[in-house]
Amino acid sequence: MKFFTAVQLGLALAFTYGANAQGTCSTPATISGYSDAKLPNPFLFNDGTPVQTAADWTCRRSQIAALIQGYEAGTLPPAPYANSNMAQQNDNSSRGVGLFYNLYGKNHSASAMTAWVWGVSRIIDALEANPSASINTSKIAVTGCSRDGKGALMAGAFEPRIALTIPQESGSGGDACWRLSLYEQNSGSVVQTATEIVQENVWFSTNFANYVNNLTVLPIDHHLLLAMVAPRGLISFENTDYVWLSPLSSFGCETAAHTVYTALGVPQNHGFEQIGGHAHCAWPANLTASLDAFFNKFLLDENVSTDEWSTNNVFNNVTWTASDWIDWTTPTLS
């Protein structure tokens, strides 16, 4: 019965990752009456009270996890397979196809993203149950590019046993924020937005389509998904040669998420590199030093600098003004 124990543990991790200082942590899947055109404040609980300590952040992280599942990703339930075997993602006809849905039913609310997270967690379960494999499960990294970059970020956010998360060119649905991508589009840039992405594939739950035409009602955006990784290692790589990857949105979203790492006293645990000059999902040699630094620190325990944060500011004539989107002051959470 160890498998079912692991499944139950996965569900517990998703919804009760921590508690606030009062020992309780309310984690509803939705919030009625919410409206904010700016990026939602990471440092306010659902009821509007401030996040003031690291223990508070643990509870706030649980709230964010529940809201992302409720609005966007579908429920993450508590056999290692390839991504498309677990949850097919060829196009919209792929909804409910894959081994995950064979176990939990075709109409399960989980999207392809949450099914992939489930698969990553089950792999880690198996490694922990088999120490003879000689794999240090406290030193696991997850990575992928494009659609797999979106999945890597989701896995790193929801699976706290992952030490280092490395999304590459994940764009909208990854390290870009829905609100900022819409702003790019409204400013004349041809980018991938929420309204388009729900028509393209089954990466997100069917419920998300109810909100894509009115993003202000979402109490989440992807800066909060990125922030769920904190304080663990996170470095994202983006490519400004491909406009549809929403370059301004990715930079702005990462900037907003960085406030959480700063609040927790570990800004160096979050890196971002945004350049051009290479094909989509090709690896440019001039990024290897940044990647190696994060590998050396989080997987090899080396005392190295991970101060890796840069952009080429190629935003296709769209202007980034932080105060238009980030209206919070970064606290010190201790």
Give, to the nearest 10 degrees, the angle between helix 54-68 and helix 2-15: 110
Q: Residue 44 has what DSSP assignment?
A: B
Strand order in the sheet with 270-275: 141-145, 164-168, 233-239, 270-275, 309-311
Q: Which of 84, 187, 278, 280 is catalytic?
A: 280
Q: CA-CA distance, 136 to 122, in Å (whole number)?
A: 16
Contacts of 323 (CB under 8 A, 6+ apart): none
Three-class SS state of 115: helix
Q: Is the peptide bond before 160 cis (omega within 30 degrees of 0)?
A: no
Q: CA-CA distance, 221 to 175, in Å (whole number)?
A: 10
HSE value, Cβ hemisphere, 13 Å, CA-based, for 234:
29
270 in catalytic set: no
Query: Count of CB atoms within 10 A of residue 24's CB?
Result: 8
Q: Which of 121, 146, 172, 205 is catalytic?
A: 146
323 in catalytic set: no
Two structure tokens written together for 97: 């196809």
Question: β-strand 233-239 against 270-275: which pairing, if any?
Answer: parallel
Residues involved in catalysis: 146, 280
